[in-house]
Amino acid sequence: MALKLNPVTFPSTRSLNITFSPSRHPRSPRTLLVASTSTKEAQKLKKSHGPPKEVHVQVTHSMPPQKLEIFKSLEGWAEDNLLLHLKPVEKCWQPQDFLPEPESDGFYDQVKELRERAKELPDDYFVVLVGDMITEEALPTYQTMLNTLDGVRDETGASLTSWAIWTRAWTAEENRHGDLLNKYLYLSGRVDMKQIEKTIQYLIGSGMDPKTENNPYLGFIYTSFQERATFISHGNTARLAKEHGDMKLAQICGIIAADEKRHETAYTKIVEKLFEIDPDGTVLALADMMRKKISMPAHLMFDGQDDNLFENYSSVAQRIGVYTAKDYADILEFLVGRWKVETLTGLSAEGNRAQEFVCGLPARIRRLEERAAGRAKQPSSPVPFSWIFGRELVL
């Protein structure tokens, strides 16, 4: 979204071009050359499907083993306080509730009306809507991330623990978001669906690096932040759709935002409980997460063409007010207040330092943003976006 990350360089994905020369002797120089070439090309292929170059040293399993007991002891609490934020499937909205009805005689007329409304939306709006949709479509990665967290993961794939039930049901609810936006964009005729589909495939293949270290303290702080960020982002795309006269799209984005808000409530409740049980450990985790900065889930986005796609998409989102640096500071300030971080007592010396750092960070972020805005240069050269058939936008 609006956060600036270091540019990511992706490896080339040129097709394989190996010539196998016939040779009678299996140990001939030609055979060895072909084998060597095959190995190199296989390594290139593997690299093209993996994450891009790491930007930091990854840490794994950073939570002390004794802390696992905290999450085991919270199993009953999770059943009583977490699962209630899920909705029964039969009471959930489904994408088809907001789309033209393919079985009806009026289907083509409904699609025509959708496309007419979509004509009024500018290209920069579509770039942000596409970026938001692609972020939602990378859902397999997010479920995987939650299932790396020690003490709360779904150990079997169908575990009946409350933590595992939450993760699967949360994933199922979130899955509707990408489905709905994807189908809307397909019917709109305004975007290059093949380029979008390639971007989704690249992103799921690349994964994500949230720096949560298999640590549920860090993981649930991250998801609390992200659910609020997506609530804000979808809420703003709803507002802009309404301003451009597409009330149906505004309804679509708004209903997705409502889901994100409900999920945000659940994740922030988990962290609130951790502050109650282990205030020192939780404030240290919050400070750690904020020092590393919250990376957006789709920060490894790539379309096969633009190595800086995520950064460029984020710049458009910032410019049209869908997700901004101000929102980042506001989210942190909201969470600090929600978790009553300023009033924590009985902390260790390290915990007190973490508390001071976190509580002062929103104001610091805003000062830095004001300075950056004051130094802002003239608009950059236009950048093409493959999602809108290569049309250019000013960042």
Look at residues 269, 155, 277 and name the one whose alpha carbon lies nearest to residue 221.
269
Known catalytic residues? Answer: 93, 136, 174, 177, 227, 230, 259-260, 263
SS3 content of the chain, % helix, strand, coil (to 5): 65, 0, 35
* 311 assigned ligand-binding residue: no
Distance CA 332, CA 322 (A): 17
Taking a C-beta distance cutoff of 8 angstroms, is the pair 252, 184 a contact?
Answer: yes
CA-CA distances (angstroms) from residue 110 to 95, 98, 120, 243, 348? 15, 11, 16, 21, 62
Residue with structure tokens 């989704």?
200
- In whole angstroms, give the CA distance from residue 174 to residue 200: 16
Q: Which two tokens stand for residue 59?
A: 């840490």
- State yes or no: 85 annotated in a binding site: no
Q: Is 299 annotated as a binding residue?
A: no
- The answer to whether 153 touches 147, Cβ cutoff 8 Å, is yes
3-state class (DSSP) for residue 392: strand
CA distance 46 to 81: 43
d(CA 227, CA 223): 6
User: Residue 61, annotated ligand binder?
Assistant: no
Q: What is the distance, to the nearest Å, from the Cα of residue 137 to the centroid of all Cα atoms in its chain?
A: 9
The sign of the dihedral angle between the CA atoms of 35, 39, 40, 42 is positive
First to last CA, the chain: 13
For residue 227, say whether it is annotated as part of any ligand binding site: yes
DSSP for 61-78 reads --S-GGGHHHHHHTHHHH
Is 155 assigned to a binding site? no
The length of the chain in residues reads 395
What residues are designated binding site?
136, 174, 177, 227, 260, 263
What residues are designated binding site for Fe cation?
136, 174, 177, 227, 260, 263
